[in-house]
Amino acid sequence: MAVCVAVIAKENYPLYIRSTLTENELKFHYMVHTSLDVVDEKISAMGKALVDQRELYLGLLYPTEDYKVYGYVTNSKVKFVMVVDSSNTALRDNEIRSMFRKLHNSYTDVMCNPFYNPGDRIQSRAFDNMVTSMMIQVC
């Protein structure tokens, strides 16, 4: 399923990033980092639209040879980026959407933790487990 999941703060630095392939982690860092260009562009394009009509799901940010990068942005401008294997054709837009929604819910839980300092790296075990479940789940 997802091979890399990242949560990026409003100021565009990573709050959380994890990938399945640990030996090539840096590659995903690069991939997610460069995808932010597209996210920024999409957000600025959306800025013109009415705020309440805004769709949080940004859709496919860009495809690479092996992966597809999807984006999602919360109302507080926190971004979720998910990299999925492009060979996995079973993943439709709707599945991606629901995964992002799950991620968003879990992120909300993290933010509700009074001991979490907004802006710090996310170290919640619950969040970690949720991401793990999204990574291994076979579609």
| Residue ranges in 60-89 that form contacts with other proteins under rule CB under 8 A | 62-63, 65
CB atoms under 10 Å from CB of 52, counted, come to 6
CB of 139 to other proteins, least distance (A): 26
User: Which region, left, alpha or beta, applies to residue 77 given φ > 0 means left and ψ of -120 to 50 means alpha?
Assistant: left
CB atoms under 10 Å from CB of 27, counted, come to 15
Q: Which of 21, 24, 37, 54 binds other proteins (CB under 8 A)?
A: 37
Place of tokens 């399945």: 20
Q: Which of 2, 47, 91, 119 binds other proteins (CB under 8 A)?
A: 119
Smallest CA-to-CA distance from 131 within 20, 24, 21 is with 20
Q: Work out whether 9 is an interface residue with other proteins (CB under 8 A).
A: yes
Q: Work out whether 11 is an interface residue with other proteins (CB under 8 A).
A: yes
Q: Which of 22, 23, 45, 50 binds other proteins (CB under 8 A)?
A: 45
Q: Work out whether 123 is an interface residue with other proteins (CB under 8 A).
A: no
Q: Work out whether 43 is an interface residue with other proteins (CB under 8 A).
A: no
The answer to whether 32 and 62 have CB atoms below 8 angstroms apart is no
Q: Which of 41, 55, 66, 93 binds other proteins (CB under 8 A)?
A: 41
3-state secondary structure at position 64: coil
Please tell me what DSSP assigns to residue 81: E
The answer to whether 55 and 72 have CB atoms below 8 angstroms apart is no
Q: Work out whether 116 is an interface residue with other proteins (CB under 8 A).
A: no
Q: Interface with other proteins by CB under 8 A: which residues?
A: 9, 11-14, 25-26, 29-30, 33-34, 36-38, 41-42, 45, 62-63, 65, 119-120
